[in-house]
Structure 1
């Protein structure tokens, strides 16, 4: 095998000189500064906010402008330039024709070229070339690598290119293309630490941005695995994500985006359910004004039908998977239809307008023939959607339960723990699993389910539902999900969900050290990047925990969480000098940003004291490059060149 590998390598590098050239190239790359990483989590379909963060490099574009232009430009000039880079189409279209003079175009393009060169300083020419738009690649490279101050002929050459761009009326398109390059140079790699989906209907816009991104990885969140499970055949997962869409008012949007056949569901709900106040859709800026009274009523009825079918399907999973230890959550069996009450954990509660006629008394978890037809129709249209298939393929290729990258540990939810601080053992698949082994177990079964998506109700697919709602799921992290109680029981005490001890223990440095050690990391150098739980800034909660070893970066990007958090999300930057935490204020409409009071909506705070600058050789990519270097050295030693 080793000989075959070297034979293949020799085919690529067929002379000693070609090996030396590549060795020099790789060793030079190793000594460049590491690129800037951006960590985001809990997008929840907030496509406008997500795109704004990418366009601004999470505030990093503005910081680079400050570093480059400093006191030579006024604050207004720097803000205007920053806005142009992030929203070139909007800025250019808002300008009067009389403002876009030859001189304005010349200066703007020159400034953008200079700034692009500054942002590209840590990259090789080869990597920069890949980032440039093909249409203007040659021109941009010529402008970047021409110093007009070095010689009159070079100045004339530079001036000629710019003049020709402007006279051919290509300047505006050129500016837009060049502005698109800068955020890519400012952020070298994106980590999405879970929960792309649910809460609003912009998830496919987010997914398109991710699928087009030059360098990204994803750590699955509970909402992501909810969708993955539905794609892989979990009917309970599918009904749950559709119920959430009805609850937040974007079900019609899902129907349109993915071509779902919702007609049988609509007809059934309209015929069998009356309005119920607990099922009124929660409106947001994305959905307000979309509905009239008639279709809002229908959405209420559909919401109820989805909930009841979901509870039946969940009950079926609990029945066939006793190892999930969730019999207390088989709630439809606990209903006394005659007395219109339910017994939960030994306490009797009144039910608020529960649709008793929709369940069988002897077998409440059984679907009616109509419900079975609806579920089968929904699953078929969901799995056959081309867009859904693209999502599945991308999430499996780029995603994982956790990731170790540049000696940092990334995961979305939690590592289930005992109150004592020990990892909680979870009995699944006939094994007691905990810590890293538990996350590996879930990932293996998610991939197993993906490989056999035509099979339903198997253990792997059911485990994707457990990942969503199971009491010891590393993605959920609560003892129960009280959706049923919130709909049908007015006593708010029944709505409470107890968090896993992990969520208070993670504030302790000893816990962080224990987790990092479990994943083979140096607890003196490494950090944990965690999402899932909105940081309640208004209540004084801090996103930096365990003496700076744990970052919780779910600050509530989606509007649904902002009343709780008071901000529009956190992101985290890691450049060659260390970590910066970014707090995002609520994103104003772009039209407002273009007004007189232009301002940056991202506030940064340094976490690390200035450290020794990290180079590519200190990173995960650097380890891979070092392996290539060693292979080339071995090729020189073992291979015979004529």
Structure 2
């Protein structure tokens, strides 16, 4: 604690205006003193558990289950509390009940022969488990997590003491009454939700919520309902943010990726975006084109051949439109240094070749019905009309706009939190490992300043309404962040989309990575990055996603002697053949850092019916001897500052500089 004496009066007098405002919240010495005692007690509690997840890519079933089971933490808590007193199948059943209380209760009601007895046993189990989880939180925090209907009852049961024999009948009476009045099911749902909420104090999403998987909008709904979450934008998130702002190039890319994976659920059902204009356009111009290079990659066996043919035509149509509008941006911004991505004018239709980097390559497809070879980037009237309709659908999608506003309110390019530096992709580096300067507008930025500037530009692209020129530049920058050579969320020299579609020679498909990826196993370079963001380089960590860790090939997610952790383990099903697993979760609790790897998840329905949890294995990365307290966290810093302010307020009261119970300052 910081105690202020008469020597500090000059400092207190300087802060009188602020202390006057503080006195409205704490109007007496007694109230202020009580709050100091309360805050000091909180500072000595164990720190809350943080969960880090990345690159979920629309895989809503796996994500939902991981959120509900807290990456295996709830199952471990059940093991801790019940040990050998429950069989493994009983523990699994209890865990599933906590994850999916509504669905599991419906099954129990159909199969349980003595429902009243089951309710009684289960209620006591849930209360014992909840007691354990709540033990490191204040009553106030627990109270805020309780549902209004059962808040008083749950609080009473959680603070039952076994040694109070005289109250045993009282607590048994509560349980019996809950069952007798047919409220046991609702009570189980309520206490399961409390367990789910309190077992994870803060959730960090390190980018790429969108694309590939079928339910990004479901994930966004879940994040909006979460009690404490932050998001570090990934390149796929920024692409959707640009699309929502009305950037035509971003819209084309969003649609192309959705068609590439035969995933129109999020586009059409999730956000109500009308794709009929694109389908009509595709059938008009590509009806006689097999579009064989544009057949969607899909894991859904229910997609018919006719549907796949239509998707292929839409896929090719939007891809060529994308190359045109991207060409417009590249020509508008020579500072982007992306002239090598102007490819339509490098095509020789007579020889069916394209010239790339001084070499000619054979094209596997030469059907370009909307391209005027005298001006290959010129949009036709039909293309302009299509773009207007698609843009209107994105800009006017109420649900999409609500989700994007949430991404802005809870998101950023990076976050420093409790000695960890979180960002999705990379920090652009030069060949020698030093920070690379990147030109934005007329000014060059590097390191932390670069990410700060990009963060502001991303917000300009969406929120600036009056300055059209600034908004337009912001939208162009959102596309650049998706695929530009110095984008920290892309991290590659070029995106070879055209080559992958039209050139069979795979040497042209290679995407050279930023030097960051060469140096991310270099401890000194990682320490330099941590220092750049004002973190202790010897104890802090960089936490990344973006590039999947090829676990099955022996690659480790732990880099630079533990200074950098890459936790993209293949949440997205499309990446799982590369990684060999189905994602990582990083857990940071009061005892240290744990990395959990997950096996593929079947389905929520099977989890409920068969008590099938995600199979996870956990390894300890760091274990501290002295358990970390709230005082050791960023929240603790704020609480200590609050205590210091309240101590100054006490002095102001005692010296008569501010009167108790009054807004008056004594002159």
Q: Shorter-chain TM-score: what band?
A: over 0.9
Q: Does 1:58 align with 2:71?
A: yes
Q: CA deviation at 1:137?
A: 1.3
- Write the distance in 2 (CA, Å) between the matches of 1:263 and 1:83: 42
Partner in structure 2 of residue 504 of structure 1: 518
Partner in structure 2 of residue 279 of structure 1: 294
TM-score, scaled to structure 1: 0.96
CA separation of 1:470 and 1:598: change in aligned 2, threshold 3 A: closer
- Write the distance in 2 (CA, Å) between the matches of 1:628 and 1:403: 23
More divergent stretch after superposition (339-348 vs 194-203): 339-348
TM-score, scaled to structure 2: 0.93
Q: Does 1:482 align with 2:496?
A: yes
- 8 A contact 1:337–1:356 mirrored in 2: no
More divergent stretch after superposition (292-301 vs 561-570): 292-301
- Write the distance in 1 (CA, Å) between the matches of 2:162 and 2:420: 43
Partner in structure 2 of residue 388 of structure 1: 400
- 8 A contact 1:32–1:616 mirrored in 2: yes
Q: Which runs of 5 or more structure 1 residues have no equivalent in the other structure?
A: none
CA separation of 1:586 and 1:76: change in aligned 2, threshold 3 A: same
More divergent stretch after superposition (350-359 vs 506-515): 350-359
Partner in structure 2 of residue 336 of structure 1: 348
Partner in structure 2 of residue 359 of structure 1: 371
Partner in structure 2 of residue 210 of structure 1: 223
CA separation of 1:478 and 1:394: change in aligned 2, threshold 3 A: same
Q: CA deviation at 1:346?
A: 1.1
Q: CA deviation at 1:517?
A: 1.0
Q: CA deviation at 1:596?
A: 6.6
- Write the distance in 1 (CA, Å) between the matches of 2:275 and 2:612: 44
CA separation of 1:210 and 1:597: change in aligned 2, threshold 3 A: closer
Tell me the alpha carbon deviations over residues 14-40 of structure 1, each in whole angstroms, 9 at most, x when there is no partner. 111110111111111111110000000
Q: CA deviation at 1:142?
A: 1.8
Q: CA deviation at 1:266?
A: 1.1
- Write the distance in 1 (CA, Å) between the matches of 2:546 and 2:164: 54
- Write the distance in 1 (CA, Å) between the matches of 2:298 and 2:282: 21
CA separation of 1:494 and 1:86: change in aligned 2, threshold 3 A: same
Equivalence map 1:493-572=2 (5 Å): 493-572=507-586
- Write the distance in 2 (CA, Å) between the matches of 1:531 and 1:362: 43
- 8 A contact 1:478–1:500 mirrored in 2: yes
Which of 61, 79, 90 is the matching residue for 1:48?
A: 61
Q: CA deviation at 1:462?
A: 0.9
- Write the distance in 1 (CA, Å) between the matches of 2:442 and 2:98: 55
CA separation of 1:331 and 1:6: change in aligned 2, threshold 3 A: same
Equivalence map 1:287-326=2 (5 Å): 287-289=300-302, 291-326=303-338
Q: CA deviation at 1:157?
A: 1.4
Q: What do you get for the CA RMSD once the two structures are aligned?
A: 1.7
- 8 A contact 1:79–1:600 mirrored in 2: no
Partner in structure 1 of residue 452 of structure 2: 440
- 8 A contact 2:61–2:604 mirrored in 1: no
Which of 579, 599, 602 is the matching residue for 2:593?
A: 579
More divergent stretch after superposition (593-602 vs 528-537): 593-602
Partner in structure 2 of residue 157 of structure 1: 170
SS of equivalent to 1:32: coil
- Write the distance in 2 (CA, Å) between the matches of 1:86 and 1:485: 45
Tell me the alpha carbon deviations over residues 501-550 of structure 1, each in whole angstroms, 9 at most, x when there is no partner. 21131011112111111111111110111110101011110101111111
Partner in structure 2 of residue 428 of structure 1: 440
Partner in structure 2 of residue 626 of structure 1: 640
- 8 A contact 1:507–1:546 mirrored in 2: yes
Q: Does 1:375 align with 2:387?
A: yes
- Write the distance in 2 (CA, Å) between the matches of 1:150 and 1:622: 35
More divergent stretch after superposition (176-185 vs 190-199): 176-185
- Write the distance in 2 (CA, Å) between the matches of 1:252 and 1:109: 39
- Write the distance in 1 (CA, Å) between the matches of 2:112 and 2:41: 48
- 8 A contact 2:206–2:544 mirrored in 1: yes
- 8 A contact 1:231–1:453 mirrored in 2: no
> Aligned pairs, how many?
638
